[in-house]
Amino acid sequence: MTESMTSPASAATLAKKYGLLEHQTEHRLNILKNFNIPHDSKILEIGCGQGDMTAVLASTLPDARIVAIDPALLDYGSPETLGQAQARLSSHDIGTRIAFHQSHPVSWLEGREDGSYDAAIMCHCLWYFASKDEVPRVLEAARGKAKRLCIAEWALQAVGKQGQTHVSTALVRGTCESHILDSTQNIRSPLHPAQIKRVAEEAGWTLIREDIWAPDPRLEDAKWEVGMLLQDDGRKFLERARSNVADERVLVLLESMLHVVKNVKKKEDQESQGLSCMNVWTGVFE
């Protein structure tokens, strides 16, 4: 993959062509650069969601074939559902090299032969898992079916004070959703890279390369996550918690954590140019 393919200009071009967000596209181009996947690979993308990474894979790896799976219902997501986003991408020139499937990863992988894929990719999807127990089952199922496993996830750490609000927000939201069994929120199992590495190694994978890096300050995820938590000054979050969490001790903890986020955000607003995303961790396993 050439340097021009990962430039901001390329991100803007791809975003305009395929109906993507520019900074999200640039972020995934940087992730792909860390993975260093050959251009003619057969790729299984696990947890493809609305296809942001799928589009980057198909548009920058010209000879790759991508099978993109996600267990979520096709009407999940806003303002564009998974079904709408996937149909949009399928209608473009890259659509002939993408096969979208609504399927649980373990069920899908059980029907594949060993060595079916050159790489299995999981990009910012591990936190969607209902519990940590689901992760090893997926990684064990992928072992042998894919020659390489490439993971990108939030690192739960920040450089200095920038990004600390994002870290605190992820932890308070994850704590709340861990007590709601039927939650479909996007942060349910905020695993730390150390936990991801341990689970992957227990599933038979060997880490060959990892990196932690700061994303572009313009990336929107921190703004989205913090905005969701502090909507109506946090009252909507507390209402959701009180409606779904029975343990008063947990409710006290959640309200305390909410106040911590407010204080951290206030300091970050005073000392930086606004909300920044936390660092990103990428790991490649064989």
The answer to whether residues 11 and 25 touch, using CB atoms and an 8 Å cutoff, is yes
| Per-residue tokens: 228 | 């969701």
CATH no. for residue 59? Answer: 3.40.50.150
Q: Judge whether residue 42 has pLDDT over 80.
A: yes
Mean pLDDT across the stretch 164-175? 96
Which pLDDT does position 85 carry in this prediction?
A: 95
Model confidence at 268, in pLDDT bands (50, 70, 90)?
A: confident
Mean pLDDT across the stretch 257-279? 88
Percent residues over pLDDT 90 in the chain: 86
Mean pLDDT across the stretch 117-145? 95
Please identify which residue in the block is written with the tokens 């021009």. 4
Question: Which one, of 72, 52, 75, 55, lies nearest residue 64 by Cα?
Answer: 55
How far is CA 106 from each of CA 141, 145, 146, 280, rounded to the nearest angstrom?
Answer: 6, 11, 13, 26
Model confidence at 29, in pLDDT bands (50, 70, 90)?
A: very high
**What φ, ψ does residue 284 adopt, rounded to 5°?**
-120, 130
For 171-202, b/e burial (b = at least 16 CB within 10 A) is: bbbbbbbbeeeeeeebbbbbbebeebbebbee
Model confidence at 44, in pLDDT bands (50, 70, 90)?
A: very high
> What domain range includes position 228?
3-285
Mean pLDDT across the stretch 194-219? 96
**What φ, ψ does residue 234 adopt, rounded to 5°?**
90, -5
Mean pLDDT across the stretch 53-59? 97
Q: Judge whether residue 150 has pLDDT over 70.
A: yes
Provide the domain count of the chain: 1
Model confidence at 159, in pLDDT bands (50, 70, 90)?
A: confident
Mean pLDDT across the stretch 109-127? 95
The DSSP annotation for the chain comes to --GGGGSHHHHHHHHHHHT--HHHHHHHHHHHHHH---TT-EEEEES-TTSHHHHHHHHHSTT-EEEEEE-S-TT-SSSS-HHHHHHHHHTSGGGGGEEEEE--HHHHHHTSPTT-BSEEEEES-GGGSSSTTHHHHHHHHHBTTBS-EEEEEE-S--STTTTHHHHHHHHHHHHHHTT-TT---S-S----HHHHHHHHHHTT--EEEEEEEPPPTT-SHHHHHHHHHTGGGGHHHHHHHHHH---HHHHHHHHHHHHHHHHHHHHHHHHSSS--PPPEEEEEE-
Which carries the bigger pLDDT value, residue 70 or residue 132? Answer: 70
Mean pLDDT across the stretch 49-62? 96
Which pLDDT does position 110 carry in this prediction?
A: 92
pTM comes to: 0.93
Q: Judge whether residue 6 has pLDDT over 60.
A: no
Mean pLDDT across the stretch 214-243? 96
The answer to whether residues 138 and 248 touch, using CB atoms and an 8 Å cutoff, is no
